[in-house]
Structure 1
Amino acid sequence: MLQQKLFPQTVGNGGEKRMDKLIESPWVMRFIALFLALMLYASVNIESGSPSKSQPPPLLGGTTSTTDKSTVTEVPVVTYFDQENLVVTGVPETVSVTLEGTTGSITKASKQKGFEIYADLTNLSIGTHQVKLKHKDLPDDLTASINPSIITVSIEEKITKSFPVTVDFLNEDKLEEGYEPDQPIVSPNSINVTASKEVIERISAVKATINLENAKETVESDATITIYDGDGNILPVEVEPSVVDVTVPIKSPSKELPFKIVREGELGKGLSILSLEPDPKQVTVYGPLDVLENLEFLDGIKVDLSKLTEDTVLEVAIPKPEGVNKVSPEKINIKVDIDNQEEKLLSDQSIQEVGMSEGKRFDFLDPDLGSIDVQIFGAPSVIESITSDDIELYINLSDLSDGEHEVKVEVNGPQNITWSLEQETVKVKISSAS
């Protein structure tokens, strides 16, 4: 068909012969081949719209393969060795690792840090060695450069030694005036330190520190143990236990005081107190100085006589005055000895006056002589030695105006006796002195 279009057929045999000669000509065939090649070239470029370019085949996911490099800092170093029997020094806690490979893999490894940098010392003997740090669990398409890559380590035998614990006080100068720490109590009072022999020999002190700022009473606290060498440097060693319990008694200002025992109720009929002896006879009170200055004795210690029928020892709590931190002891023993009761008469005991205003005078009206009999009761050995001089009778005339008054008679006498007065009151006349 192509031949027919290029060379129209002529009528007659002569035309056919001429056509055969043209086709058989080599130049004609070359022309035809060139023409077809040009047509094919033009057809391809028209379809693409631009000259063709040679490009590398795309990677899976539509991205091209690129190589990148990044440094990851503070990568922990894992050490493999016999931790039960050996101590290793010289291994850095962290190193820097430069990763090289595809960007995606580097980014993932940097974020997740799923790889490990380690020092394998399992087959090394005691002594000093240079060790090359290695890595594992790194993706196959990444390479790693470790800095430092080679370290010097010392391998020593691990030993354990016991050390006593001492306590350091922090802010002792901030205690209030008069307060001071007493001997601290540490539990347990010694700890075990495990390290190399060289480090053990450097240990100078094993300390627990307690803060005493504004402490007014016993301080109880947990405290961590710190190990120091002779220059005051902290030694990183294995400690068991690493935390101890510390109790620091705080001594506050104190004062020894006597106390008053108040007797309540009465003994049964026919019984009397032979002796009543407290043990101890004084107690120590602790508190601020301004509170202690106003205390002369302790009150409020009571003994109920109505419950006693025989010799006994009572345990009595010591009341704590307001403002006082504590009393010591908190309880005392009171030994009470009881005996049969006897009586004794003291005749004509003179009555004295107290409290009369200046410029006044008084006269007894009843009894007119100003004396009465006193019957005393007590254990035989007690009343035997009591005389008239041991019994004081008095009347209180303070704040009384001129005129006649009936006044109660008061009695002062030794302990462990009771008494009965001939009359409980007397009549007096008060007048202005002339």
Structure 2
Amino acid sequence: MDKFLNNPWAVKVVALLFAFLLYFAVHSAQAPTPKKPGESFFPTATTDEATLTDIPVKSYYDDENYVVTGVPQTVNVTIKGPTGTVKKVRQVKDFEIYADMENLKTGRHKVELKARNVADGLSISINPSVTTVTIEEKTTKEFPVEVDFYNKNKMKDGYTPEQPIVNPKNVSVTGSKAVIDRIENIKATINLEGVDQSVEKEAKLTVYDRDGNVLPVEVDPSVVKITVPVTSPSKKVPIKLDRKGSLPDGISISSLDTSPGEVTVYGPQNVLDSLEFVDGPEIDLSKMKDDTELEADIPVPDGAKKVSPEKVKIKVKVDKEEEKKLKDVSIKTVGMNDSRNLEFLDPKTGKLDLTAKGSAASIENLQPSDIELYVNVADLSDGEHDVKLEVNGPQNVAWSLPQKSVKVRISSKTSQNENDKGQDEEQDHNETDSQPS
């Protein structure tokens, strides 16, 4: 036995027998189906076929100087070969379909589509396999960008878009001369639905011919930045300065000017409709001993978006305070109607003397007719009342009154008429009694 095992040929024969036994054991488990008569005992390689759709086509040409049209973007490819290879290629699609036009000049040409990087043992057929292409010289030209708005009617009430700002405003378009000559415009579109403030966004550009067809050209840049200013409803109103404190004794304001005198308020229409003025900044009179210039922020009214301008310049000029007497200024009544009577009890004349205080320029030409002295009796019932005096007059003028209120008597005309009628009847009765019988 040892002699047998030491023989190299005997060992090789035994190893070969074991290899056959192992092969039979494996394949008998995987393919127990008995072989047909005449069929080879050893398995043969199988083939397969598959059609792949939408395979991209690459174009090779002098793209710096020429433009090519007519090459299909995709084709269908049928592959045949060993089953394993077909299965792998179906999954990875690691081949390339291409059109080679590097040696062609301008004009129309028939070009055969080819395949490369094809796996060994695999055959490929391309559909379509031939295409007609047009090669033209490349042309570049600049065009302005236009902006189209849509849903403009769906902006918030009262808001309107202004002229859009495009950056850059001109773009370069590259293509064949024939296509470049067909360009009508280059547009970006902006959606304005629900907009109530300025819009800033980037937009893609589209190139159109005069019939509205999209043209296949290169645009540089293909995306631009667009700013659309949006204006809201607005209203111009004056500025009302709020004053606090009192000027030092002996000093009066000769002029108080604001620049500008009115501002534009932007905001919803219902807010603007109720707005008569803007409450401006507050100035402290107690600190103004000399002429003063200052700048202050203008407050934005409640509910409004903004004011323009945002600041106001205030110039205050002061002067020595002087006095002027105004005699017999009539007291007017506010809140009376035709069914009531009013009688002044104090002063009985319904007039008062006033003292105006201000700079010489402010009071020099002041007349009683420039002053409105009044009492408000709208909420008073019949009877006697002490009513507060109110004064309206030129700005920068102070007033000194001999009394702060007046006494009045209010009565209804109906009761007055009844009293008058009663007095007349009593007088007639007395006259009758005095006649002789």
TM-score bucket (shorter structure): 0.7 to 0.9
1:187 to 158, 161, 167: 167
Partner of 1:382, secondary structure, is: helix
Structure 2 Cα separation of the partners of residues 52 and 164 of structure 1? 79
Do the aligned partners of 1:346 and 1:387 also contact (CA within 8 Å) in 2? no
Give the structure 2 partner of residue 391 of structure 1: 371
Give the structure 1 partner of residue 434 of structure 2: none
Structure 1 Cα separation of the partners of residues 313 and 247 of structure 2? 16
1:355 equivalent in alignment to 2:335: yes
**For each residue in 1:204-236, what CA deviation from the matched residue of structure 2 results, as whole angstroms up to 9, or x when unmatched?**
100001112233333332211000112211012
Please state how far the C-alpha of 1:370 moved relative to its aligned partner. 4.3
Counterpart amino acid of residue 293 in structure 2? T
Give the structure 1 partner of residue 202 of structure 2: 222
1:341 equivalent in alignment to 2:320: yes
1:407 equivalent in alignment to 2:387: yes
Do the aligned partners of 2:65 and 2:137 also contact (CA within 8 Å) in 1? yes
Q: Which residues in structure 2 correspond to 1:41-120 (within 5 Å)?
A: 54-56=38-40, 58-59=42-43, 64-120=44-100
Structure 2 Cα separation of the partners of residues 202 and 269 of structure 1? 83
Largest Rg, 1 or 2: 1
**For each residue in 1:354-398, what CA deviation from the matched residue of structure 2 results, as whole angstroms up to 9, or x when unmatched?**
335643433333x45444432222222221121222122222233
**For each residue in 1:268-300, what CA deviation from the matched residue of structure 2 results, as whole angstroms up to 9, or x when unmatched?**
4443333233344444444555554x4251242
Runs (5+) with no aligned partner, structure 2? 1-33, 420-437
Q: Which residues in structure 2 correspond to 1:224-243 (within 5 Å)?
A: 224-243=204-223
Give the structure 2 partner of residue 173 of structure 1: 153
Counterpart amino acid of residue 273 in structure 1? I
Structure 2 Cα separation of the partners of residues 96 and 52 of structure 1? 39
Do the aligned partners of 2:340 and 2:410 also contact (CA within 8 Å) in 1? no
Please state how far the C-alpha of 1:185 moved relative to its aligned partner. 1.7
Partner of 1:119, secondary structure, is: strand
Partner of 2:136, secondary structure, is: strand
Please state how far the C-alpha of 1:192 moved relative to its aligned partner. 1.5
Give the structure 1 partner of residue 282 of structure 2: 303
**For each residue in 1:175-209, what CA deviation from the matched residue of structure 2 results, as whole angstroms up to 9, or x when unmatched?**
45654332222222121212222222111100001
Structure 2 Cα separation of the partners of residues 141 and 126 of structure 1? 38
The change in CA–CA distance for 1:77 and 1:268 in structure 2 (over 3 A counts) is farther
Structure 2 Cα separation of the partners of residues 236 and 333 of structure 1? 55
Deviates more, 1:195-204 or 1:162-171: 195-204
The change in CA–CA distance for 1:214 and 1:339 in structure 2 (over 3 A counts) is same
2:301 to 320, 338, 342: 320
Structure 2 Cα separation of the partners of residues 269 and 202 of structure 1? 83
Structure 1 Cα separation of the partners of residues 183 and 253 of structure 2? 66
Counterpart amino acid of residue 242 in structure 1? S
Do the aligned partners of 1:271 and 1:338 also contact (CA within 8 Å) in 2? no
Counterpart amino acid of residue 173 in structure 2? V
Q: Which residues in structure 2 correspond to 1:189-268 (within 5 Å)?
A: 189-268=169-248
Counterpart amino acid of residue 333 in structure 1? V
Please state how far the C-alpha of 1:328 moved relative to its aligned partner. 4.8
Do the aligned partners of 1:301 and 1:319 also contact (CA within 8 Å) in 2? no
**For each residue in 1:28-76, what CA deviation from the matched residue of structure 2 results, as whole angstroms up to 9, or x when unmatched?**
xxxxxxxxxxxxxxxxxxxxxx9995443525xxxx2123222111111
Give the structure 1 partner of residue 140 of structure 2: 160
Counterpart amino acid of residue 176 in structure 2? S
The change in CA–CA distance for 1:363 and 1:52 in structure 2 (over 3 A counts) is closer
Deviates more, 1:157-166 or 1:334-343: 334-343
Structure 2 Cα separation of the partners of residues 194 and 51 of structure 1? 68
**For each residue in 1:154-177, what CA deviation from the matched residue of structure 2 results, as whole angstroms up to 9, or x when unmatched?**
233333222111111112233456
Deviates more, 1:311-320 or 1:207-216: 311-320
Structure 1 Cα separation of the partners of residues 83 and 121 of structure 2? 10
Please state how far the C-alpha of 1:401 moved relative to its aligned partner. 4.0
Aligned residues: 377
Please state how far the C-alpha of 1:404 moved relative to its aligned partner. 4.7
Give the structure 1 partner of residue 17 of structure 2: none
Deviates more, 1:258-267 or 1:338-347: 258-267
Structure 2 Cα separation of the partners of residues 295 and 339 of structure 1? 35
2:362 to 382, 386, 396: 382
Do the aligned partners of 1:405 and 1:428 also contact (CA within 8 Å) in 2? yes
Deviates more, 1:340-349 or 1:73-82: 340-349
Structure 1 Cα separation of the partners of residues 137 and 334 of structure 2? 91
Structure 2 Cα separation of the partners of residues 418 and 165 of structure 1? 63
Please state how far the C-alpha of 1:330 moved relative to its aligned partner. 4.2
The change in CA–CA distance for 1:52 and 1:400 in structure 2 (over 3 A counts) is closer
Please state how far the C-alpha of 1:414 moved relative to its aligned partner. 0.7
Q: Which residues in structure 2 correspond to 1:408-423 (within 5 Å)?
A: 408-423=388-403
Partner of 1:73, secondary structure, is: strand
Structure 2 Cα separation of the partners of residues 74 and 431 of structure 1? 101
Counterpart amino acid of residue 341 in structure 1? K
Identity %: 47
Structure 1 Cα separation of the partners of residues 320 and 104 of structure 2? 96
Q: Which residues in structure 2 correspond to 1:284-299 (within 5 Å)?
A: 284-292=264-272, 294-295=273-274, 297-299=276-278
Counterpart amino acid of residue 267 in structure 1? L
Structure 1 Cα separation of the partners of residues 358 and 295 of structure 2? 21
Structure 1 Cα separation of the partners of residues 103 and 142 of structure 2? 30
Partner of 2:103, secondary structure, is: coil
Counterpart amino acid of residue 102 in structure 2? T
